[in-house]
Copies of this chain bind each other. A is one copy, B any other.
Amino acid sequence: MQLEDVYRYIDANQQRFVDDLIRLVKQPSVSARGEGINDCAKIVEEMMQNVGFSTLIIPEGQGNPVVYGEIKSKSSERTLLFYNHYDVQPPEPLEEWMYDPYSGEIRDGKIYGRGVSDNKGNIVSRLKAIQAFLETTGDAPVNLKLVAEGEEEIGSPHLAPVVQKHKKLFSADAAIWEFGGTDRKGRPMIYLGLKGVLSVELRVKAATRDVHSANAPLVPNPAWRLVWALNSMKNEKDEILIRGFHDNVEPPSAEEMEYVQKIPFEEEEEKQDLGLSEFLHNITGLEALKALLYRPTCTINGFLTGYTDKGSKTVLPKKAMAKLDFRLVPRQVTEDILKKLKEHLKNHGFDDIEVITHGSTEPVKTPIDDSFVQTVIETAERVYAKRPVVYPTSAGSGPMHLFRNWLGYPVVSVGCAHAESHGHAPNENLTVEGFVKGTKFIAAILHDFSVS
């Protein structure tokens, strides 16, 4: 049987695959500060070419290059696209790493390194699954497209125009997204959606310079203005007070809630990981999980004004700013929320507050009953010999809507990580076992999609 041969090839070449992954991990690619980006893009392109991809580097305007590749199938008309990213989070704090974050050190069956789990392990697992197919059968089971962008960790600010401009390149019948893995019990996790994000900055100015706080009875204080404006936007119950904010919120369907109820929400581990004795407003269990997945939020990411060093300074600041993100759920639309935010500020007398947008991605979801979703669920169960955990949506965000909403095909997210992979944190790692299994999972998806 064809797929068994592919699995055998993967097992036989495991060490070479791991070596390739380590090579990629050793190449820093921190988009937040433009570190090693072009070199990493080149390695990814070369790896794709080695597998058999025809490649193309798409310059993202002023952004980091998008690496794109295609392989035509001789036997299928269908096309599967893989979305990945080669950029990584900054490795800091360095002192908390057991090994150099760019060493690719292997210990006790775990490969350590910044980006090994998010997202370089997944890039290599996709490439190796495809390579295994090509080497074993001489053909790609379906037409394949792989896109690896270099700005996911900073919010993919330049990807939308690239997709807009190259709709044909990015067209497909279905897509595999960049993240996923197994939970603490080894069950594969499948994600079908993301929240949207609208990132804004509020700025207030008053006097033309910082003045002595003795002038407080006469001089407007931008810090107080910002406090009052923020307070008008969300109350102590965490209820967002912007008129119309919740208008288009679509609650989870009954079918979605069935799946949500089956998600093993490891509450105590979550609390421990977040350093909390209890969640916000003491929510627990299914209520907490439902909030995590389906509640739109408004978060202060940062606030800066005046003197913030040691001790005190009797200053009345000339300006203040706050950074916020709104996490949105289907069918909220970032542009609409931005408009409502501006209206809110105006209606509450905060005309003096300037709103700057730092980026946005739309909420997105692929229905559970989509046939591609069902294929991936069945494949997962067979490969892992465990019932997968299906997340009808997730708390995270990303540019998935460009593919799902603009190009119209189903998008499902799976990957090689495990419960202790520490993505975005020190000691990020991937198990060799999880990486190999994840590679086989992709191979099986390729096969099952080709025959479904």
Binding site for B on A (CB under 8 A): 154-155, 195, 197, 199, 201, 206-209, 211-221, 223-224, 227-228, 230-231, 234-236, 238, 270, 274-276, 279-280, 283, 288, 291-292, 295, 297-308, 311-318, 320-321, 323, 325, 327, 349, 358-359, 395-397, 424
Contacts and interface: CB of A to CB of B under 8 A. Distances in A.
Contact of A299 (B216, B291, B320): B216
Tell me how many chains of this kind the complex includes. 2
Given A218-B279, A288-B218, A207 B359 contact: no
Nearest to A195: B214
A236 B223 CA distance: 12
A291 B217 contact: yes
Contact of A312 (B209, B217, B227, B325): B325
Nearest to A214: B395
A112 B315 CA distance: 24
**Residue of A234, A305, A397 contacting most chain B CB atoms (<10 Å):** A305
The secondary-structure label for the interface of chain A is mixed
Contacts of A197: 314
A301 B307 contact: yes
A274 B230 contact: no
Contacts of A302: 223, 305-308, 313, 315, 317
B214 A327 contact: yes
Contact of A274 (B207, B301, B358): B207
Given A231-B228, A300-B305, A215 B395 contact: yes
Contacts of A212: 396, 424
Which 9 A/B pairs are nearest by Cβ-Cβ distance? A208-B275, A302-B306, A312-B358, A223-B300, A199-B312, A216-B297, A217-B291, A304-B308, A231-B231
A425 to B, nearest CB: 9
Given A291-B218, A314-B397, A321 B299 contact: no
Contacts of A291: 217-218
Given A201-B312, A217-B292, A280-B220, A304 B301 contact: no
Contact of A221 (B213, B270, B279, B299): B299
Contacts of A312: 155, 199, 201, 301, 323, 325, 358-359
B308 A397 contact: no
B274 A213 contact: no
B209 A300 contact: no
Contacts of A297: 213, 216-217
Nearest to A394: B214
Contacts of A323: 306-308, 312-313
A40 B388 CA distance: 75
Contact of A301 (B227, B316, B397): B316
Contacts of A218: 270, 274, 276, 279-280, 283, 288, 291-292
Nearest to A275: B208
14 contacts: A197-B314, A199-B312, A199-B314, A207-B274, A211-B274, A214-B292, A216-B298, A218-B280, A219-B279, A224-B234, A227-B303, A301-B312, A303-B303, A308-B323
Given A214-B327, A291-B218, A301 B314 contact: yes
A212 B197 CA distance: 13
Contacts of A230: 224, 227
A308 B321 contact: yes
A25 to B, nearest CB: 22
A352 to B, nearest CB: 12
Nearest to A208: B275
A396 to B, nearest CB: 5
Contacts of A235: 228
Contact of A209 (B213, B231, B275): B275
